[in-house]
Amino acid sequence: MEAGKDKLYCGEHGFMEKGSRRIVCPLDPKHTVCEDKLHTHMLKCNAKEKPKPVYYVENINAGLFLTLFMFILLISMLLLLFILLLFTGLCLDVDEHVLSHSVLHQELKNPKNGDSAHKHLRQQVSSQWAHSVMW
């Protein structure tokens, strides 16, 4: 900075002419301010805390997440326990029915079809045949 007209010091060091001293800003120690202008500086300093919006409530969510998480965990465990108790009381003997069709026999004899293709062919013919019978 250059010193102004009829000034001995630049704007940064102009306080030395008047005899006031510079002090560290109480809000932000990265800059200094003239001691006699401290009150004015405190009103306009960029480091001062901004007012919070009216809807802001400090620590409104503190602890809520953990409480909610524990509640969901407890409900999940109870539900799992209920399902396990229900499952142990069930008899789960499932009958397997593989249906057949004349086209299936031809495709099963085809050497190009491997084990995976045979499995899918049986599934598809069973579901298609069962579907046509039911509807």
pLDDT in tens, 56-70: 888 777 777 778 888
What pLDDT score does 18 carry?
Answer: 65
Contacts of 12 (CB under 8 A, 6+ apart): 1
The residue-averaged pLDDT of 89-94 equals 69
Give the span between the Cα atoms of 107 and 102, in whole angstroms: 9
Give the span between the Cα atoms of 123 and 96, in whole angstroms: 11
What pLDDT score does 135 carry?
Answer: 44
Q: Please say if the pLDDT value at position 133 is more than 60.
A: no
Residue type, 70: M
Q: Of the spans 31-40, 63-72, 110-119, which averages the highest pLDDT?
A: 31-40
What pLDDT score does 85 carry?
Answer: 83
